[in-house]
Structure 1
Amino acid sequence: MSPGSTVQRIDVLRPLLGSVVQRTKWGGVVDGDLRGSGYFRVAERNGVFWLVDPDGGRFISKGVNTVRFDQERIGQTDRFPYAEACQAKYGSLQIWRTAAADRLASWAFNTVGCWSDELVASAGSRLLATTPVAELGASFRLHRRDQVFPDVFDPEFAAHIRASADQRCRHRRNDPGLLGTFIDNELYWSPDWRSSDELLTLFLNLPPRRPGRVAALTGLQARYRDFAQFNAVWRTPARSWQELDRIEHVAAPFVRLRPGVLNDALETKANLADPAREAFSADCDAFVAIVADRYFELCVSAIKAADPNHLVLGSRFGYQPPAGVIAAAGRHLDVISFNCYDFDPGPVIDAYAAGAKPCLITEFSFRGDDAGLPNTKGGGPRVATQTERAQAFEGYVVTALSKPNVVGYHWFEHADEPAEGRFDGEDSNFGTVTIEDHVYVELTKTMTRVNAEAERIHAAAVPAVI
């Protein structure tokens, strides 16, 4: 989205201002047609998805990530400059919690996002919802350190997920303030900014006799009449399925672009020009769809067994995955969650709409080059000024809320990163406040105004024509 189109979207809000909206204690809009269940749930009205808060209010989750006193240490040191500043300013963690909660509520936010201090949610004069990450798949992947993606075919995976979900989710089952649980964060599904590897080749290259490797080989044998037909596509040095099973590293015969509107069109064109590439793409897409279906089925059932009262909010896709993954997510999840660091989230939102479930944007942000930070590492667009940053926020959120499948948006993040860089080197102006806890006034004034109108904007969303 260009700066010009961002400014144009500001006018969308002006006719909506001026009237008082009655809200529940959770911040949802009081609606006589809805009833509270005591927990957050989802609803669809006239083709538009909503969250419903525990008291029956129409709810859009407006959140901020990493709301915590000890946000972002400098590199691998023991220094937390934000905590140092807040200790001097507030004198104690509890006083900071109350101040942070009341400030978020004053900006019309109603949710503390991922990696936040959950005690902030109940520390202020208004209740805020919480959204923890269970890290179920990630914890199994770390248990098997040679896995980029958890081996969902390993019998130990299902047992691990059940035990982890019970440990991490059961104690929250009666908490009305829990919006829902994220399964994981930014798992690797397909080529993205991290690598060009396919999930299929990653599984083919697991150690011998690993269940995931066996599943990948078995799936390929089922797709081809004989080995020669397979090898005409994959071009391996093997001469039989038995030899293929003994190869340490199976190289992908093609490198695909990461999914997305433009790249999908380029991939389609390339596949039409090369039947072998088309077959390879089909192999990869079929396998990742099977993996996704098993992953979401096992994880959702494990979380629901431990906590049947709350929503399962997905796995916070770091980048748009293949269509089969979105379809699997839609079959199993209550809400599909994803991060989107574009100026215009519209095309990405439309891609996830194929899952036919409500969607939650779990990270987005814009960095201002006038904040005095390097802004050399970190996701998302850079803009020149805080004015443009506020305009970009407004354009993004108005666009997102105009989509019938969007039920919330979470800003990344609460405070700026250290100029020296955090654990991964990020050094950017992502904050609603500086690292000294000074408020970005222009940004937060815009956030307050847009957040207050979020339900009204979303109510005017036009349902997709199927």
Structure 2
Amino acid sequence: MDIEISGSRIRYAMENFVEDSGGLRFTLLLPPRFGVGGAYYIGDGTSRPFPLIKEQQILAQKNASIITFLDPSGEGFSILTPEGFHEIQDYRVFDQPALAWIYNYQFGKYSKRTGFVFDITSLSPLPDATPPPRFIIDRFGQYAVLDFPEKITDERQLREDADREATDLAAIASTPRDSWGGLPGSRESYNLRATGFFRAGHAGGRHVLVTPEGNVFYQLGVCCVMPDEGMTVVRGRECIFEWLPPAKGGFKAAWQNGDPSTGIVSFHVANIIRKYGSPYDDEAWSGRAVKRLRAWGFNSAGAWSRLTKTMKAVHFAGTPQLPLEPWMAPGLRPMQGAERTYDPFQAGVEEVIDQAFAAQVAPHADDPAIIGWFIENEVLYENISKAVPSQRSDSPSKLRLVQLLREKYEGDITRFNVAWGLTCTGSPESPADFDALKDITLFVATPDAAADMRDFMRLFLEAHYARVERLFRKHAPNHLLLGSRWQPGTASDEQLVRIAARHADIVSVNYYTRTIAPDFLHYVHEWSDGKPLLLSEWHYTATDQGLGGHMEVPNQKERGLAYRNYVENTAVLPFVVGHQWFAYADQPATGRWFEGLNGEAANTGLVNVADRPYLEFIMECKKTNNTIYDLMFR
């Protein structure tokens, strides 16, 4: 198939078909905003609105030669296609925040010879459509067409929220805690010792964290205690916003890095400026956030938080991440196939990491407000053994793999060819020597090949984790090494867990799930040779304010009950030492900035874009947070 794009026309030219070829299937994902006042029609039919909330998977099916989509602003596009079967699906039923157009094109005698064309046309509102608003997002960052009880419609409401908040927080009953959020008196009760830093220990027959004061600490953390998560891209789609903060003056801080030329803005920050009637300040913002979080029963900041002086002064501790991603430490070579980590076989990598740790970790070595450091975030180690065999000689990992194979097969290329199936009928030409392997694509298609890649991954993981531990202990001897924040699929690899856990104090898993699986958590704990476990990222969402869903539940009350179920069923496990909810504030309705125009846009927060807390959800969380130590030692 040759694909030629010319303006708004896409031409597909095809040849050499297998006789019984059936057809082609195209899937186009539409951003969540189409589901908040958008519409579609298939063929010449009447426009039909996308549902505001998910109802069913299949929304429409029809044979036609044209499909049209409009977003809530009334702008959209049509695709003129050959006659074919069109289908509209709501992927929100699968927890994927998107709507989908699926087009099935069946091959015929004519199409096999010449292919076909898509013609795409930009559109204004349809004549029979309900007149849309002039914009999709209102001046407070909310969906314009959606009404809900907590919606802000006037700046006066923001100021009233500010005046009322101190009284509201004071009315919430507090639970006794030590200055770090630990269990008062537990130092004496469990004969623990204070070191001036957080550490891992045992009390009452289970794993625990211990505060700098020597008391039992169960982390009830919240990720992203900072406003950056609320940034969104506005450049190129300015017309969908009712209002954007002025480029100069008091709203400058609402723009990324205070620079409107970035085209990236935070309505959350803009609302904070309007709410308090003063320029945005990190210290003031974080101080208010900590007062809220403590009133709600949370005791610390999770990943992706910014530990301010104010937070440290009031003993609100956090868990930063080591500078091991290439963007954090210039000079690290991205690992092809798993770009969130580096190639551990890169020449000079020890010096690069040592320098990064010296600059970014060592200055905080005596800071008691750091519980520990995460190694990395959601590196897909399962992809590395698939990617490395296809790399070339410019990859240090590919060269190390070839060295391993040469050693393992004692220089006998014939043995290697047999083991990897390169002498089978239909295989590529057998390489003549091991040097030839450096620049050819290898396929892991035999049991021997899979075993060899397990051996390679053993070398890879040991080189990485041993180096990280060695340099971490050098630069941060007082802090815990918190593990790699694996996704559950990654953490299902016994070899990975065993190797990584030898070099960390705690194993961390970003455990998103609808149903708690204690057996899975027990396996991870056993493979780690008994290391404590931190559930380092998870959440539940609802769509009542128009945001996308992920691990979705029906409403905010159910969200709170889901939180309680998750925490209470895992905190009782004697090796779980904490949780980190993701995140403090909702993601923006138009998507997170670093993911482009269609980033995540979910109800992940304790507060919404207008800084209004989801109190029905939060008060359920507080019930569990207040009794966490009773749960642990029941």
Q: Tell me the TM-score range normalised by the shorter chain.
A: 0.7 to 0.9
Query: Which residue is equivalent to 2:243?
Result: none
Q: For the structure 1 residues 455 and 89, does the alpha-carbon distance in structure 2 shift closer, same or farther, using more than 3 Å as the test?
A: same
Q: Does 1:101 align with 2:303?
A: no
Root-mean-square deviation over aligned CA pairs:
2.5
Query: Which residue is equivalent to 2:609?
Result: 435
Between the aligned partners of 1:146 and 1:176, the Cα distance in structure 2 is: 33
Query: Residue type of the partner of 1:122?
Result: M
Query: Which residue is equivalent to 2:76?
Result: none
> How far apart are residue 97 of structure 1 and its match?
2.0
2:522 pairs with 328, 350, 356, which one?
Answer: 350
2:475 pairs with 299, 306, 326, which one?
Answer: 306
1:62 pairs with 220, 225, 242, which one?
Answer: 220
> How far apart are residue 408 of structure 1 and its match?
0.7
Greater Cα shift, 159-168 or 73-82:
73-82
Q: Does 1:392 align with 2:562?
A: yes
Between the aligned partners of 1:140 and 1:350, the Cα distance in structure 2 is: 35
Between the aligned partners of 1:81 and 1:120, the Cα distance in structure 2 is: 24
Q: For the structure 1 residues 283 and 246, does the alpha-carbon distance in structure 2 shift closer, same or farther, using more than 3 Å as the test?
A: closer
Q: Does 1:152 align with 2:324?
A: no
> How far apart are residue 320 of structure 1 and its match?
3.6
Query: Which residue is equivalent to 2:620?
Result: 446
Q: Does 1:23 align with 2:177?
A: yes
1:117 pairs with 302, 306, 310, which one?
Answer: 306
> How far apart are residue 448 of structure 1 and its match?
1.2
> How far apart are residue 173 of structure 1 and its match?
0.8
1:80 pairs with 260, 266, 279, which one?
Answer: 266
Query: Which residue is equivalent to 2:399?
Result: 214
Q: For the structure 1 residues 400 and 78, does the alpha-carbon distance in structure 2 shift closer, same or farther, using more than 3 Å as the test?
A: same
Between structure 1 and structure 2, the one with the greater Rg is 2
Q: Does 1:45 align with 2:203?
A: yes
Query: Which residue is equivalent to 1:369?
Result: 543
Q: For the structure 1 residues 123 and 220, does the alpha-carbon distance in structure 2 shift closer, same or farther, using more than 3 Å as the test?
A: closer
> Contact (CA 8 Å) 2:175, 2:626: kept in 1 or not?
no
> Contact (CA 8 Å) 1:97, 1:123: kept in 2 or not?
no
Query: Which residue is equivalent to 1:289?
Result: 458
2:512 pairs with 341, 350, 373, which one?
Answer: 341
Between the aligned partners of 2:175 and 2:224, the Cα distance in structure 1 is: 29
Query: Which residue is equivalent to 1:202?
Result: 387
Q: For the structure 1 residues 21 and 83, does the alpha-carbon distance in structure 2 shift closer, same or farther, using more than 3 Å as the test?
A: closer
Q: Does 1:458 align with 2:632?
A: yes
Between the aligned partners of 1:209 and 1:239, the Cα distance in structure 2 is: 19
Q: Does 1:242 align with 2:434?
A: yes
Between the aligned partners of 1:338 and 1:200, the Cα distance in structure 2 is: 21
> Contact (CA 8 Å) 2:198, 2:210: kept in 1 or not?
yes
> How far apart are residue 65 of structure 1 and its match?
0.7
SS of 2:342 mapped into structure 1: coil
2:589 pairs with 399, 407, 419, which one?
Answer: 419
SS of 1:79 mapped into structure 2: strand
Which structure 2 residue ranges, 5 or more long, are not aligned? 1-173, 235-262, 423-427
Query: Residue type of the partner of 1:83?
Result: V
Query: Which residue is equivalent to 1:231?
Result: 417
Query: Residue type of the partner of 2:437?
Result: D
TM-score, scaled relative to structure 1: 0.81
> How far apart are residue 224 of structure 1 and its match?
4.3
Between the aligned partners of 1:81 and 1:312, the Cα distance in structure 2 is: 35
SS of 1:118 mapped into structure 2: coil
Higher strand share: 2
> How far apart are residue 58 of structure 1 and its match?
0.3
Query: Residue type of the partner of 2:484?
Result: S
Query: Residue type of the partner of 2:201?
Result: A
> How far apart are residue 433 of structure 1 and its match?
0.6
Query: Which residue is equivalent to 2:380?
Result: 188
Q: Does 1:405 align with 2:575?
A: yes
> Contact (CA 8 Å) 1:129, 1:178: kept in 2 or not?
yes
Which structure 1 residue ranges, 5 or more long, are not aligned? 1-19, 191-196, 254-275, 461-466
Query: Which residue is equivalent to 1:135?
Result: 323
> How far apart are residue 46 of structure 1 and its match?
5.5
> Contact (CA 8 Å) 2:557, 2:620: kept in 1 or not?
no
Q: For the structure 1 residues 419 and 347, does the alpha-carbon distance in structure 2 shift closer, same or farther, using more than 3 Å as the test?
A: farther
TM-score, scaled relative to structure 2: 0.60
Query: Which residue is equivalent to 1:383?
Result: 553
Larger RCO of the pair (alpha carbons < 8 Å, separation 6+): 1
> Contact (CA 8 Å) 1:26, 1:110: kept in 2 or not?
yes
Between the aligned partners of 2:603 and 2:626, the Cα distance in structure 1 is: 24
> How far apart are residue 229 of structure 1 and its match?
4.2
Higher helix share: 1
Between the aligned partners of 1:114 and 1:454, the Cα distance in structure 2 is: 21
> How far apart are residue 175 of structure 1 and its match?
0.7
